[in-house]
Chain A
Amino acid sequence: MSTIEKPLLEVSDLVVAYGTRREPTPVLHGVSLQVGAGECLGLVGESGSGKSTLGKAVLGLVPVASGTITFDGRDITHAKGRDRRELAADIQVVFQDPYGSLDPLMTVGDILAEPLATAGTGRAEAKAAVGEMLDRVRLPKNVLDRYPREFSGGQRQRIAIARALVRRPRLIICDEPVSALDLTTQATILELLIELQRDSGVSYLFVSHDLGVVRRVCHRVAVMYRGDLVETGDGEQITNDPQHAYSRRLLMASPVADPVLQAERREAWLALRAEQAA
């Protein structure tokens, strides 16, 4: 996976700025990355690093100041209106907040069928596709008539994943999809995402602040720091032996669930901190 012949998604020199036109505050200063077909690319960094903004730029939810985003050879940097709506067939999203990402006034059945109805799929066909997706994310059929508030965080996230998958997209932007979940729920959702990727060959751009999570699901990992991409590499390598100073600090700051290893890691982190202060 490390060599990509023809990337599915290619972001080059992307600049995104918030604020007013006269006083823009840049949040991404020229970021470049690639995601291959069937690949999961992790995007890690702390809050304010610009990792979520990058995902939103690919989805067309924030305006791009300069640089290009290419999907399957097509320039989608400034896709608007009809062009953007057509991309819905190929690019989808799973958000962090399993409570806010489902319309509380719609039934689960309507939520899942909506993307298909928008695409003009027939009713019977849509129903079959929705049923299949529920099986895939392991939810029983009787959830269709119910409202999101009746479900737990993990179950809602399954519904959100089913909605993202229902049009069989080629790329899903996962924006911190498990960080609001309990640990054991988090593990099952990650399991599900891996399984779905193996079955369907979908690509993930996986945004997370948690190195453990990223190590589990991502083939490659890109580390972001204050709007810049500081290091990209193999998932195992970045989460075991990162090269860039910031990546090392990030790794050593993440506590391990093992008292002995954690004591060593803390020593390493204290040494890095002293080094940085000097």
Chain B
Amino acid sequence: MTAPLTDNIGSREHRRGSTFVRLLKRPAGAISFAILVLIVLVAVFAPLLAPYDPNFVDLAITRAAPSPEHPLGGDTTGRDVLSRLIYGTRITLWGAFVAVGTSIVIGVPSGLAAGYFGGRTDRIGTWISDAVQSVPGMIILLIVGANTGNNFDLLMITVGVFMAPGYFRLTRSTVLAVRNEPYVDAARVAGLSNTRIMTRHVIRPVLAPIVIQSALTAGMAMGMQAGLQFLGIGGGTTPGWGAAMNEGFRVMRTDPLLLLWPSLALGISIAALAVLGSTLADVISVKTTTLTRRQRRRLAATNADALPAGAVEAATGSVSHAAADSAVRLENLRVKHETPRGVVEVVHGITLDVAPGEVLGIVGESGSGKSQTVFSMLDLLPKSGYYTADAIWIGGEDVTRLPRAARAKLLGHRIGYVPQEPMTNLDPSFTVGHQLTEPLRAVHGMSRSVAKARALAMLERVGIADPARVMRSYPHELSGGMAQRVLIAGAIAGRPSVLVADEPTTALDVTVQAEVLELLRELQQEYRMALVIVTHNFGVVADICDRVVVMRSGSIEEIGETTRLFAAPEREYTRELIAASLDGAESRGELDRAAREPAGSTRAADPAAATQNTDASDEADRREVRA
């Protein structure tokens, strides 16, 4: 949904902090974040918080049990355990910081370059990343430790290097996805240098995943660091948690608490980072809330009760045939969708019908509810949607009274469906033959050979030159026009009495569109099917429809015979839509000549007509709503 231009800007504040706010709204996010803040505070204020110097030896408290002066007791050499833990926070955080920093500095720019420039840069970067990952990191760390006198910072930098491929791959894949967006091309055309494009446009979508990755990497770095110190590498005189664990491990049988405290500190820190990372990932990726079945039922119930009678939009439309004589008849159809903001009605009680052998067009702009209407007819509304209707007659039977399974059986039998996007409606992993014969066998109970013969006959009927070869093909081997013919063959294979086509030619070239329309016309006449075509194109309506339903914002504007509707539209809106088709409108040459000549001298220059047209279409632009 698009917000109208006029609403105020105040809502932005709310949105800006929303990721963080949403994170804190989740208990896991709030708790892990609080723990991490606490750990950072402890590290920063260690000198104030620690009761003793961490390296001060008081032999009297050697292996002492907890006491009021030493809440966690003393260690094997007589140092205060609590103070050492508090100071250990500093070294642990610093180590994690160095490792993560190194990883980011190496991994992000190289991933950015590899993803953005591609080609050789990408191949070299990926090769190095793979090579680093195949080196046993622990051995390298031991070598570095041995040769640098256990230099802690250097060890953590090495840890960072080994974690850099994670950042490289993450950055590279995100950039690859962004790189082909038209806005990156637009930036190039606007004269931005590569560096500028990368820092202004390409890196931003990478930031959120990097933050998540860093939380997880920091936890891993802490674990690595503790592990190294546990082995006696990189500890030095610093009171690290790993070193404390090592010491505790040696006296585990006599003084188990000495092992417990540092392990707890490390465990809690790493767990907090891991939980924070995964909650953050959840918060960022989940944009829409999905409702459970029960919530949906409750919403539907409250909505039906709560709506005052006056708030319901009046039903629109009319019928032209008796219920028993119509192929399809909708009575007072309402379609509603659940959104995070509540239930929204998108079709406001429409009534229409189509007779056997009749071609009905449903036209309207985006947001008019035309597709929702046919999806209700087919019982194929998306999960968030549901409909109510006084009745939906298909072939003289009210299908709203049918159980779900019986209703589903009508699909393919009594009512066939041709979708808008031919390619996405074929499963890429099965052959065309399989996809055509499967429903015939499942729904119509045909044997394998009968189904195959029927499918071949249908493919031939829809004008496919070599049906046997197409049966063996996979969808990607077909052109868009061929794919649409295959889907039409599938839709009519069950000999339905009604064929519903949702924008069947919108994704096709005009030359292919003409062929597909011709085919639909032939099939409709041959089988005396009722044909319902949803379209936004008045040329398509003029070409094939007997009657037209004009929809706008979920209601019917007018219904009429095609010739009458074009010749004398009852509604201003219909007239506007037909005029917007540009057929018969002035060409650029005529417009220019009219602009040069004084007003009123030609038809094209009639200023009243011109202004009226502009006003009407401006209003249409404001009205335009995208779902």
Contact = CB atoms under 8 A, between A and B. Distances in A.
B365 A119 contact: no
B293 interface: no
Interface stretch (A3-11, A23-31, A89-97): A89-97
Nearest to A2: B589
Contacts of B592: 219
Interface residues of A, number: 85
Interface in B594-627: 595, 613-614, 616-618, 620-621, 624-626
Contacts of B583: 212, 256-258, 261
A184 B580 contact: yes
Nearest to B540: A255
B182 interface: yes
A183 B577 CA distance: 7
A211 B588 CA distance: 12
Interface string B236-264: 00000000000000000000000000000
A69 B204 CA distance: 35
A234 B589 contact: yes
Interface string A139-158: 11011011000111111000
B580 A114 contact: no
B36 interface: no
Interface in B427-477: none
Contact of A258 (B365, B542, B591, B620): B542
Contacts of B196: 118
B9 A212 contact: no
B624 A256 contact: no
Interface string A209-224: 1111101111100000
Contacts of A270: 518
A150 B3 contact: yes
Give the bracket for the number of chain B residues in contact with chain A: 35 or more
A95 B186 contact: yes
Contact of B581 (A47, A97, A212): A212
Given A46-B510, A215-B587, A249-B511, A114 B192 contact: yes
A99 to B, nearest CB: 9
Contacts of A243: none
By CB atoms of chain A within 10 A, which of B5, B9, B366, B518 has the most?
B5
Contacts of B205: 105
B189 A257 contact: no
Nearest to A111: B183
Given A92-B189, A258-B542, A188 B621 contact: yes
A65 interface: no
Nearest to B625: A152
B200 interface: yes
Given A140-B5, A191-B614, A163 B582 contact: no
B197 to A, nearest CB: 10
A186 B580 contact: yes
By CB atoms of chain A within 10 A, which of B518, B576, B581, B586 has the most?
B581
B186 A163 contact: yes
Interface string A236-259: 100100000000011011111111
Contacts of B517: 255
A88 interface: yes
A254 B513 CA distance: 8
The 5 closest A-B pairs by CB, nearest first: A88-B191, A255-B539, A184-B620, A257-B538, A257-B581
16 contacts: A61-B189, A93-B189, A114-B200, A152-B621, A153-B624, A163-B190, A184-B365, A184-B624, A188-B620, A235-B589, A250-B510, A254-B539, A255-B537, A255-B540, A258-B542, A258-B583
Interface of A: 40, 46-47, 59-61, 84-89, 91-93, 95-97, 100-103, 105-106, 114-115, 118-119, 138-140, 142-143, 145-146, 150-155, 160, 163, 167, 182-188, 190-191, 194, 198, 209-213, 215-219, 234-236, 239, 249-250, 252-262, 266, 269-270
Interface of B: 2-3, 5, 9, 12, 181-183, 185-193, 196, 200-201, 204-205, 365-366, 480, 509-514, 517-518, 536-543, 562-563, 566, 576-592, 595, 613-614, 616-618, 620-621, 624-626
Given A184-B624, A257-B541, A257-B578, 9 more contacts: A102-B186, A103-B204, A151-B2, A154-B621, A184-B580, A198-B595, A216-B582, A255-B513, A266-B543
